[in-house]
Structure 1
Amino acid sequence: MSLNTRTPIGPMDLAAAAFSLPLFSLVLAALIVVCALFLGRLRQRHGGPEAPSGTPLPAVPARYRPEHRAFGIGAIAVIVVYAAENIVRGYLLNLVDIVEWWQYATPVFAAVLCLAVGLALIVVRGNPKPEQPVVPTARRTSLSFGPRAGLFGGAVALVALLATTIAAGLASSADERGRFIYLEITVPNTQLEPLRPWFYGWDFGVPVLICLAALVLVTWATLRSNALRPYLRPETVTAERTARAQVASGAVAITTAATLLALGGAFRFIGRYGSMSQLTVGNDGAGTTYDMTWQYAEFAAAAHWLAPALEITGFALLLFVAIRLLRRPAPERQHPRPQPSTQPETVR
């Protein structure tokens, strides 16, 4: 008579299983955004800082609203494309022995398309003839309206993804078909063959590098085109600067978020097999355990835990961009009605 026993699943096991799913990071990011918005409403109700009293002229929001909508909808589209790819690839397709490189390039490619649409709007309809020429007082560049903290964070994310992809590609090894998809982990002081688990090698990383280069190019073009177009007239300069700053911050946030999602996926892949440190040969009761080492084993172990944090940050950025750019101000705040005056009107 044999007795089968099952190991009870504890809360930590459930939490680890949940955090292993990228879409669980999306759920957590949505909860964080909802809590942040709720706390912001409470702060405003209890004596928080009021919104600026200055109101943009009617022509200004109408000029920039299509671009705000394009980037807001684009941020949602990046999330939808990422989630759809994850569901279709993970649950509907049988991809045995297929190099699924697109899962890491998908968020970056989706961001490229999103920014390309916004750039097209800026180029096609964002350069009307000024009603009254405005003499520039300072030289405007692609960095003129970009948020400093956002640009710095985006640059750090881009460098991290670039360095991770190159380092993983150099550490990878080829299979019998010449695909760089393996990580060769040796078992020292033994005659055992090296282990070759799947890894984030060149066949996965090269498409990401191509999409990353396209993302940098389209982001730079968007920021430059957004900054160099002329103002309508002198009295709209302040309002147009605010609107352009929103366009630039949205573009930078989408770029950063897409990079973080790709980096989180790469970290998951690296940590899944690259963090292996022991090999047991034989039965459970009489097996021999060997230690395995490779150059970036410590990094792979840390990447396993950092991946969900990167994904949550990326999803939260996209949600904040969509909420900020798609939210339309109240009509009474945008175009205040003129109050009747008791003084006689002066004709000029």
Structure 2
Amino acid sequence: MSQSILTFMGPMDLAAAVFTLPLFSLVLAGFIVVGILVVPRVRRRRGSGAAPGGGAPLPTVPARYRSEHRALGIGAIAVIVAYAVENVIRGYLLDLVDIVEWWQYATPVFAAVFCLTVGLGLIVVRGTPQPDEPVVPTARRTWLSFGPRAGFVGGTIALVTLLATTIAAGLASSSDERGRFIYLEIPVPNTQLEPLRPWFYGWDFGVPVLLGLAALVLVTWATLHRNALRPYLRPEPVAAERNARTQVASGAVAIATAATLLALGGAFRFIGRYGSMSQLTVGNDDHGITYDMTWRYAEFAALGGGLAPALEVTGFALLLLVAIRLLRRPAPERQHPRPQPSTQPESVR
């Protein structure tokens, strides 16, 4: 049986079948991250003839930021693990017939909320000691001060897209006899047939995602806010502290963006699976009658289903890059000498 199936499946069919597995996106993201990290290093060595292990040293990370970096790096891995464990348990170990599996789409969002909450707690409890020598900032710092501009733009686009998709799908959904908004009603025009009601990303799936998004936005903003406003310890290591804060902010934004992309990819898969249906065949293959069904957004549903793997790959790649960047060993810390009375402090942002 399996041999006959493979006989009729071409390379494109096999590739399409593989991309229907969300965890394949994780494997593909792993290869992409390896390429991002390895290829430039190989080119640099070949071009400059540098010895293996050469290259610019990693920046020094002040001790007060190490726990935050480790927490965010481990948290990025935890989001991947939570997503993978949920996918395996739900898909292969549980029988969830007629169960609204809303956690399938909310898991990455709530995992990111938990991760960032831990990082925020470390900033509040351990990352704000009294400065040895107060450093007066020369510019007002806000939650935007250390975050990556491109990261903010990408995260905002992902957030708005998931928000709009969830609300639009909820408005398009219809309820079952138990009042659960889990169906998409697709009429079959010019017939006496009842409308088709496939499962859909309705309110019962989307409301938990919306609640998770609200919590994710709040905890991300709080993390960026507290990371920016805490005082510097001394004038001389300001550059190192600024770099460490930038790493914290970019890591938090990347984790929030990645979780949003994973949830959006799952929603697009669900919508594309049934929302793109356009024909209904009544009867067997030889004597069946095919009817056209109408749903105004069927083309968008099909497009979303095709984009879902790319969104998941991007989300997994972001999480892997955050984990690698924040968990790798920095250069040994150098002891910064105490400033002399005549030393001019570096301008502080």
Per the TM superposition, whether the score is higher than 0.5 is yes
Normalising by structure 1, we get a TM-score of 0.91
What CA deviation, in whole Å up to 9, does each residue of 1:235-269 have, x standing for no partner?
11111110000000000000000000000000000
Structure 2 CA distance, aligned partners of 1:251 and 1:198?
A: 34
* CA contact 2:237–2:336 (8 Å) conserved in 1: no
1:50: Cα distance to partner?
A: 5.3
The secondary structure found in structure 2 opposite 1:265 is helix
- Residue 148 of structure 2 is matched in structure 1 by 147
Is the contact made by 2:57 and 2:331 (CA closer than 8 Å) also made in structure 1? no
Match of residue 335 from structure 1: 334
C-alpha distance in structure 1 between counterparts of 2:205 and 2:180, whole Å: 10
Q: Distance in 1 between matches of 2:135 and 2:155?
A: 32
Query: Are 1:264 and 2:269 matched, yes or no?
Result: no
Q: When the two structures are aligned, how many residues end up with a matched partner?
A: 328
Aligned counterparts of 1:224 and 1:50: Cα–Cα separation in 2: 34
For 1:244, give the aligned amino acid: R
Q: 1:284-299 alignment to 2 at 5 Å?
A: 284-299=285-300
- Can you give the 5+ residue segments of structure 1 that lack an aligned partner in the other structure? 339-348
1:295 to partner: Cα distance: 2.1
Aligned residue in 1 for 2:231: 230
- The one-letter code of the counterpart of 1:39 is V
Q: Deviations over 1:265-322 (max 9, x none)?
A: 0000000000111111112111111111112111101011100000000000000000
SS of residue paired to 2:182: strand
1:239 is aligned to 240
Range 6-15 or range 178-187, more displaced: 6-15
**Equivalent in the alignment of 1:11:** 11
Q: Deviations over 1:166-196 (max 9, x none)?
A: 0000000000000000000011111110000
% identical equivalent positions: 79
- Distance across 2 between alignment mates of 1:278 and 1:81: 37
Moved more, 235-244 or 199-208: 235-244
Gap change, CA 1:145 and 1:26, over 3 Å in 2? same
Deviation at 1:337, TM superposition (A): 12
| 2:38 alignment counterpart | 38
Structure 2 residues without counterparts, runs of 5 or longer: 338-349
Distance in 1 between residues matched to 2:43 and 2:66, nearest whole Å: 28
Show the 5 A alignment for 1:1-348. Answer: 8-45=8-45, 46-47=47-48, 51=56, 56=60, 61-331=62-332, 334-335=333-334
Aligned partners of 2:68, 2:313: CA distance in 1, in Å? 26
Q: CA deviation at 1:51?
A: 2.8
For 2:132 and 2:330, the matched residues in 1 are separated by 25
Mean CA deviation greater in 86-95 or 234-243: 234-243
Cα deviation, residue 11, structure 1 = 1.4
Residue 290 of structure 1 aligns to a residue in which SS?
Answer: strand
**What SS does the corresponding residue of 1:235 show, helix, strand or coil?**
coil
CA–CA distance in structure 2, aligned partners of residues 320 and 311 of structure 1: 14
Deviations 1:35-63, CA, capped at 9 Å, x for gaps: 1111121133233995379x64xxx5211
**Aligned residue identity for 1:25:** S
1:225 and 1:51 map into 2 onto residues whose CA distance is 30
TM-score relative to the length of structure 2: 0.91
